Structure 1
Amino acid sequence: MAASTLATVLRSLFMVLGCGITATVIYTIATDGLPFRKQLLTPWMAATLVDFYINIIVIGAWIIYKESNWIRAIIWMVFLVCLGSITTCAYIVLQFFKLTPQESQQDPIYFVLLRTKKKDGTESKGNLSVVGARVLFSVLGCFMLGTLIYTIAIGRSPFRLEVFTRWFSATLVDFYVNVFALSVHLNANSSILQLYFLVF
């Protein structure tokens, strides 16, 4: 029963987060226009976007691991790149809705986040290489660290009022929704750690 309650709570939480970030993006577009303007690309905005898209790569790798159909995986990836955590939340909520009552009562996080099923009902382990994941995420981690050091060197502290434009704030919200989704992945089961973060 506790696992079933956990499934309901997590599904509701990701629905609320998805609606929240959707409202944030709509509000920011309505009050500040579209984000495709050069003046918005300050050093700290650029650094945040680098971090954001590194998270998108991690979540995208998970979606590719989960999806047995490459076309469907590519469509999800396009939405993920364009809409960020709105897509993350929608994907996770859809995975919760696919659970059977038995799966909801056993271990919903495992069934939603870690396991995929083929049409014959057997589990698919995905075909991502752990060694490849180690190399990829080592490179991305170094790139993220280098970006942070460079931005501090040229952009000074991020704790200044002029840094927090409307689009920077919206990007931070989007970023931290994805960080929350990744933290649920990491706490779910050690096998996700083996898939993505064995290098650390």
Structure 2
Amino acid sequence: MAKPVYTVNALRILFVVLGCLMLGILIYTLSTNGSPFRRELFTPWMTATLVDFYINVIALAAWVAYKEPNWISGAIWIILLVCFGSIATCAYVVLQLFKISSQDPLQDPLYHVLLRHWNKNDVERHKTISFVVVARVFFSALGCMMLGTLICTIMIDGLPFRKELLTPWMEATLVDFYINVVAIAVWIAYKESSWVTALLWIVLLICFGSLTTCAFIVLQLAHLSSQDPLYLVLLNDHSSNPAIIKHDAF
């Protein structure tokens, strides 16, 4: 019992610290470099970074939309994700972590963070289309879009490893991007049964960003049949056990 409690507390501290860090960086960059909505800031690599950033935001927003009990709260959180990036991500994750009560079975605390408690009106239980297939196509398309963006940017502007590209707003955007990467990396570490494969995926995530996010999601979706509920993609093999889900989903 102690280990899951320590895990929850460690994740709470981690995302509180990351959220405060990003908030401080945002305030500092605004005060020293003004608004980010200036045309000269939108270099080819800044544009590619924003595309990369927002594809990860889409993946996080899909989870938020699933988690929230109604479309109004879901829409509010998604708008916050779009506007405030990883600050909203950290706030949402911390909120979900604090919803874990002492009455919850803590053998798998991330199960309670990731999974929504279903009710009889949920679309997934009365589906007329395969959301698994839709998600496969959707994230495959996003991955292809990011790959195309990356190739085009390299052809137009060369490699990104140049000091002049690291403007204050580019640095702030990269911190924002990688805090969201931390959130996705926690999920990947939870999903993978082997720490070796988890580490490999996380390294790829750090190096290739949303390309890896999309590849990982599509690969996990490939393990599901078209008739499976889409939320199973969030869970690891143990937590995907039908008996566990049946016990906790209502």
Q: Say yes or no: TM over 0.5.
A: yes
TM-score by length of 1: 0.89
Question: Could you list the runs of 5+ residues in structure 1 that have no partner in the other structure?
Answer: none
Letter in 2 for 1:80: L
User: Aligned equivalents of 2:221 and 2:105: distance in 1?
Assistant: 31
Q: In the alignment, what sits opposite 1:24? A: 25
CA contact 2:77–2:88 (8 Å) conserved in 1: yes
Structure 1, 124-133 or 58-67: larger mean CA deviation: 124-133
User: Aligned equivalents of 2:107 and 2:124: distance in 1?
Assistant: 20
User: Aligned equivalents of 1:34 and 1:15: distance in 2?
Assistant: 25
User: Aligned equivalents of 2:102 and 2:6: distance in 1?
Assistant: 11
User: Aligned equivalents of 1:124 and 1:105: distance in 2?
Assistant: 28
User: Aligned equivalents of 2:170 and 2:217: distance in 1?
Assistant: 28
What is the Cα deviation at residue 109 of structure 1?
1.2
CA contact 2:15–2:90 (8 Å) conserved in 1: yes
Structure 1, 95-104 or 134-143: larger mean CA deviation: 95-104
User: Aligned equivalents of 2:119 and 2:140: distance in 1?
Assistant: 34
TM-score by length of 2: 0.72
User: Aligned-residue CA RMSD in angstroms?
Assistant: 2.3
2:36 aligned counterpart, secondary structure: coil
What is the Cα deviation at residue 125 of structure 1?
6.4
Q: In the alignment, what sits opposite 1:176? A: 178
Q: In the alignment, what sits opposite 1:117? A: 117
Relative contact order higher in (CA < 8 Å, ≥ 6 apart):
1
How many aligned positions are there?
A: 194
Q: In the alignment, what sits opposite 1:186? A: 188
What is the Cα deviation at residue 188 of structure 1?
2.0
What is the Cα deviation at residue 65 of structure 1?
1.2
In the alignment, does 2:138 pair up with 1:136? yes
Letter in 1 for 2:115: R
Question: Do the aligned partners of residues 86 and 168 (structure 1) sit closer, same or farther apart at CA in structure 2, a change above 3 Å counting?
Answer: same
User: Aligned equivalents of 1:174 and 1:95: distance in 2?
Assistant: 20
CA contact 1:3–1:108 (8 Å) conserved in 2: yes
Q: In the alignment, what sits opposite 2:5? A: 4
CA contact 1:68–1:124 (8 Å) conserved in 2: no
| Structure ID, larger Rg | 2
Q: In the alignment, what sits opposite 1:88? A: 89
User: Aligned equivalents of 2:101 and 2:79: distance in 1?
Assistant: 28
Offset from partner CA, 1:21-44 (integer Å, 9 cap, x none): 111111110110010000000011
What is the Cα deviation at residue 118 of structure 1?
4.8
User: Aligned equivalents of 2:143 and 2:95: distance in 1?
Assistant: 30
Question: Could you list the runs of 5+ residues in structure 2 that have no partner in the other structure?
Answer: 193-213, 223-250
CA contact 2:132–2:221 (8 Å) conserved in 1: no
2:93 aligned counterpart, secondary structure: helix
User: Aligned equivalents of 1:186 and 1:103: distance in 2?
Assistant: 23
Q: Paired residue for 2:155, among 153, 156, 165?
A: 153
Structure 1, 139-148 or 152-161: larger mean CA deviation: 152-161
